[in-house]
Amino acid sequence: MLDHDLDIDLDASLCRQELSSDEKLKLLFEYAGSIADEKRLDNLLQLMADLGRQLVVADRCTIWIYDRDKDELWTKVAHGVQEIRIPGGTGVVGHVIKTEKEYITNDAYQDPNFNRDVDKRTGYRTKALLALPLYDNEGRIFGAYQAVNKMTEAHEFSQVDIENLKMVASYSEKSLANAMLNEEIEKTQKEIIFLMAEIGESRSKETGNHVKRVAEISALLAKLYGMSDDEADLIRMASPMHDIGKVAIPDAILKKPAKLTDEEFDHMKEHTSIGHRLLKNSERRIIRTSAIIANQHHEKWNGKGYPAGLKGEEIHPYGRISAIADVFDALASARVYKPAWDYQRIRNLFRDEKGQHFDPKMAQIFLDNFDKFVDIVENYKD
C-alpha cells in the first residue's frame, strides 16, 4: 500500500507539457475517423479513454457506466486496472451521476466526495481528479468520463481540461450510445439464440450444455486458427443454432434409440437445409453466421458430406470449425444410442479423419491443443 503522504510530483521526469492548440486539433483529427467508424463498444470506449488522456495530459482516463437497475457504477474501460464496481452513489463519479454536473478536485484525499476504496484495492494514489457526465441520445445520463492525475508540472486540472473533455464527450456520445444499443441488441440476440438452440436440442434429448460446449469449442478453435477475437465471439454466439433445423424432424426419427434406416437418415439430414432456410434471410450478422453453420456443419473436407457435398475450401471456415466442434462433443458425450467415447479413441479418430472428414489444418490445430478442448467438455459436463 502506498504511503498516504506520497506525492506523485516527486518524479519530475514524468511531467509533460500542456498541448498547444495546434497539437490538440491534430490529435482530435487523428482520432475523429476511428471514433466515427468504430462499432464495437469496447474499442470505442478505449479510443475515448486514450484520446482524453492525451488531450488533458492525464495519467489515466476511465469510462464509468451507470447500471440503474443495480444502482452500480462499473468501469468499462480503465487505464492500468481491471474492471471495478462500486455502489452508484459513491465517490466523485457517483456525485457527478447524482448532480449531473462536472467536478474537479486537485486534492482528492481531502475531498469529502472522494472514495479511497478504489485506491486501496488497486494500490494507486489519486491526487487530482476530474469527471463529467455522459448522456445517451435521449438526454439521460448513462455514465461518466473521468481523468486522474494531471501530469503537467502544476499537477492540477482546470476548467480548460473540463472543456476539452466535454469536446471529446460530445463528439463521441452519439457513437457511444449507438454502440451500447447495438451491444444490448447482440446480448438479447445471444440469449434468444441459446434459448432456441436449447429448445431444439431438448427435442432430441440433448442438454443445454451441449449447446454451450459446442459454442466454446468453436470459439477456441477459431482463435487458435488465427481468427480475431471479434470473429471468434461471433462464432461462439452463432454456433448454438447449428441443429435448429431439428425442430422440423419427426420425433419417431429424432428420438429413435436404434440405428436409422437409410430413408430415415435421409430425412434426418434435412435438418441442415431446414435450419439454413429458417435463418438465412436475417439482416443480423449473428443469425446470418448461424445460417452458414446450420447448413454446412455436416459437410466433409473430402466432399462426402451433406447437404451439398461441398469439398475442401468450398466449405466456409465456420462450417469447418463447427464440424470439428460438433463431432468432438457428440463423441465425448453419452447419447441415447451410444455411450461416451474415451478421449484416446476420439483422438485416434481425428487423426484418421484429418483431410477426410475434417479440414487438415484445423484438425491438426485441434489435435495439438486437444487437452484444452477436453477441459471445455469437462467444465460443462451434463
**C-alpha–C-alpha distance, residues 368 and 351, integer Å:** 11
Residue from 76, 127, 246, 300 carrying the catalytic annotation: 246
Q: What is the DSSP letter of 250?
A: -
- Compute CA distances 347 → 227, 239, 288, 326, 380, whole Å: 24, 22, 32, 14, 19
Q: Which three cell numbers stand for residue 184?
A: 444490448
Task: For residue 246, indicate whether it is catalytic.
Answer: yes
**C-alpha–C-alpha distance, residues 326 and 328, integer Å:** 6
**Looking at the chain, how many residues does it have?**
382
Furthest C-alpha separation in the chain: 82
Helices 370-379 and 317-332, axial angle in degrees (round to 10): 60
**C-alpha–C-alpha distance, residues 328 and 347, integer Å:** 9
Contact 27, 19 (CB under 8 A): yes
Cis peptide preceding 307, ω within 30 of 0: yes
Residue 105 φ/ψ, nearest 5 degrees = -140, 135
Number of C-beta neighbours around residue 66 at 10 A: 21
Contact 9, 155 (CB under 8 A): yes
The residues annotated as belonging to the active site are 246
